[in-house]
Amino acid sequence: MNATPRKDRSGRPRDPGVDRRITAAAMQVFGRVGWAGFGIEAVAREAGVGKASVYLRWNSKEDLLTEAVASRFAPIAEIDNGDVHADLLELADLLLDLFTGADGLAARRMAVESHATPGIAQRWQKVRESQVRAARAIVKRAVARGELDPRTPVTLLLDALSGAVINHAIATPPHLRARVEQDRRRYAGELVAFLLASLRQMPREVPGE
């Protein structure tokens, strides 16, 4: 069954191509100037559309930015390969692409600025909760399949994975970013292999969640 096309606020079907241009522009503008310089006019200019096209789709710049960044995290909920190694590898690769790729600065800004930005904090908290549930579901499915011990510390595992990715993105100097992008898959593989090996060596008395 085909999904019902999303509509703008006038009730007309939304053009996915225009949507993507606007959300991509929102990421670029936010990455360059942060929340202080973020606005509908700047995004419309970046996207090459009129302001009316943006306002037909989003009520406010808060809604636009939240949806733009959330759309880059959304694929987490689709990860389900039936294998814990493949699932964690896909998760690590997705996060590496997000935090070190073209939208990396915007993603890193959101992680920091969202907590202190009125109008964004509450919206982004809901997105983060959804992301966390999706990531935890990956680990819990692996436990249910018998691939991971039932006492696996879910939060610790995911904190280690996402923390390593974010630190890798922040610590990499600008002149090495192209190399990091080229080596992204290798780094993701090494990270996942390290984490799974560490879990196997964990004392059995460590409580899970």
Query: Per-residue pLDDT averaged across 6-34, rounded?
Result: 82
Torsion sign over Cα 144, 149, 153, 157: negative
Per-residue pLDDT, 9: 59
Contact 28, 107 (CB under 8 A): no
Note the pLDDT tens digit of each residue in 41-63: 999 999 999 999 999 999 999 99
Question: Cα(62)–Cα(57) distance, rounded to whole angstroms?
Answer: 12
Expressed as residue numbers, the domain containing 188 is: 70-200
Tell me if 131 is assigned to some domain: yes
Note the pLDDT tens digit of each residue in 70-119: 999 999 999 999 999 999 999 999 999 999 888 999 999 998 888 888 88
Per-residue pLDDT, 176: 84
Contact 113, 35 (CB under 8 A): yes
Question: Cα(195)–Cα(161) distance, rounded to whole angstroms?
Answer: 8
Per-residue pLDDT, 112: 86
Contact 191, 160 (CB under 8 A): no
Identify the band that residue 4 occupies on the pLDDT scale cut at 50, 70 and 90: very low
Contact 51, 41 (CB under 8 A): yes
1 CB-near residues (< 8 Å, 6+ apart) = none
Per-residue pLDDT, 1: 39
Of 30, 45, 68, the residue at which a domain comes to its end is: 68
Residue 131 burial by Cβ neighbours in a 10 Å radius (0-12, 13-18, 19+) = middle
Q: Which residue has the tokens 């600025």?
A: 113
- For residues 182 and 90, state if they share a domain: yes
- For residues 97 and 152, state if they share a domain: yes
- For residues 54 and 84, state if they share a domain: no
Identify the band that residue 7 occupies on the pLDDT scale cut at 50, 70 and 90: low
Per-residue pLDDT, 64: 96
- For residues 64 and 79, state if they share a domain: no
Question: Cα(123)–Cα(188) distance, rounded to whole angstroms?
Answer: 30
Contact 76, 83 (CB under 8 A): no
CATH number where 109 lies: 1.10.357.10
Q: In residues, how long is the chain? A: 209
Contact 65, 26 (CB under 8 A): yes
